[in-house]
Structure 1
Amino acid sequence: MKRLTQYAQGGGCACKIPAADLESLLGNARMPFPRDPEAELVVGLESGDDAAVVRTQDGSVLISTADFFTPVVDDPYDWGRIAAANALSDVYAMGGRPMVALNLLCWPPDLLPYDLAAEVLRGGAEVAAQAGCHLAGGHSVVDAEPKYGLAVTGVADPGRLLRNDAGRPGLPLSLTKPLGLGVLNNRHKNTGEVFPHAVETMTRLNADASRQAVAAGIRCATDVTGFGLLGHLHKLARASGVTAVLHASAVPLLEGAAQAVKEGFVPGGSRRNLDWVAPHLDPGDVPEETLLLLADAQTSGGLLVAGEIPGAPVVGELVEHIGHTVVIRP
């Protein structure tokens, strides 16, 4: 059997351009604004939110995002499901509902047969169908490395958007999925061990959590993916002008994740995440192994919500800015 993870340098969201490099790249790009736009840009690059949001001339609000990555698991069907769930998550993280998606596929036909690519597409289509989202075509190219994901368009109530810049002091922080996906996926890539509970977590849609947050009147959220909990929490706190206090012992972990860190299965992306956040972080007395899990690069992780929703543990709270964007307590 072809092991898909052996055909990629990185895996899943851990293959992202490092956060510090990406912010520098975008800062230097000097992208122009349209002179006569057809729609009003409500959420753009300013706060590094999960998706772009525009309001059209008739008042409708559209959410647009794209996400694709290299294989995170060896099973092509599961990879397709995970990649689709991850791409759809950006819409849910904005409080929206996905309407239509397009496949994004890069494939090395000289290395991997097209029947494996068909399984990837089948997995993506099944998750899109589960989400009630049309999957209507897309784009494919021959590439030296396999990659798959979706470009997704969704809709939202303009007065009930979830944004990463809407955090306020006094709000609790809730997390809807456990951490540890990066280290378990890295262990899978290096050993071939399969972790069904990690696959189940990555393929689970954030639809219910998003609906619950919107129904509860919550206005601040983001999803936890390639920059890890610490990275996305830093971005949320920075955009909102507050400090996030995170209680490390309250953060849920996947079974086997702590052991994987102890045995050295830490992706390079997770270490880069910690290095990026470190200047803005008060780690207290929390050990490095715990910090690495908190910075672990997640693929199709949960929502981080400034508020409380059913079934999601409270892992911290937002307070007035006190010098760091993130403060960790045991």
Structure 2
Amino acid sequence: MNQPTGSFKAGMTWGWDGHRGDWSTPLAERSLAAMAEELDINWVTLAFGALQDTPQSTRIHFDSAPTVADEEVRRAIRQAKGLDLHVCLKPVVNVKNGTWRAHINFFDIDVPCEPKWSDWFRTYTDFILHYARIAEEEGCDLYCIGCEMVSTDRREAEWRELIARVREVFHGPITYNCDKYQEGQVKWWDAVDFISSSGYYPVDAWEENLDRIERVVQAYGKPFFFMEAGCMSRVGSEFVPNDWSLTGQPSQEAQDAFYRAMFAACEKRPWVEGYMLWDWPAKLEDAAEAADKGDYYVNGKKAAATIRSHYRKQLNK
């Protein structure tokens, strides 16, 4: 499998907050360009969601609002390419009732009159293949086939079949974004080209978690990067970076401390081949306004300078 040039992924995730129509505005174009300039990235992950009604629903509504329209996806890919960025396309299923997608789950054996894994994977395959075709047609450099689908990870046969189907229509490298702490639970890493995970690890626990992940990477002999990694700019967030519901006062220092700790730990591990950090909004706010918010965005915050400095250092090696 040919890999795109530039092995280190100095990347950022863009557009996750976008709903249908949000990616096709002048504001979205300015946001993508500003991200590339401010962070000196060489990769971008274009991430968007589609909804199923409940964790046990077997239909994914990816062809209607709020999911961004196909032409918006194509437009964003083309703009990113015009900015000389490598592009990873990342369609993600979410649950309309607010349940985290990690809890999408069904009985391990088929039971009459109950929703089934086979029904869900059929519609999920349609969903993933739809965007795999767009990724192929638009020349994406990487395709992500799933994100933090913890309860599905054990369905090895279904994932292997899905990967085989994706390879029929998308001819670039593919990855799966497992959730934090789940790197060793996925048993089908050999079927993808990159191992990737969500790096929401406490500021004081990077070394022990990297030790654990390294064993998985060595066992499968695959390149690794963090498909997500980030921290809210809120007091205490650096110790629970995965907790988006954390309340408290905004703190750029907490967010910056997380990034500094992560970069320092990962820099000593050459097998960590980069990041698609979380995240940058399609609806870009004024820098002064953004700086006072406690969300994951880094625009207008201290962490942006830390990210830019680290990326420049890595890319100039």
Q: Fold conserved (TM > 0.5)?
A: no
Greater RCO, CA 8 A, separation 6+: 1
Question: TM-score, normalising length from structure 1?
Answer: 0.29
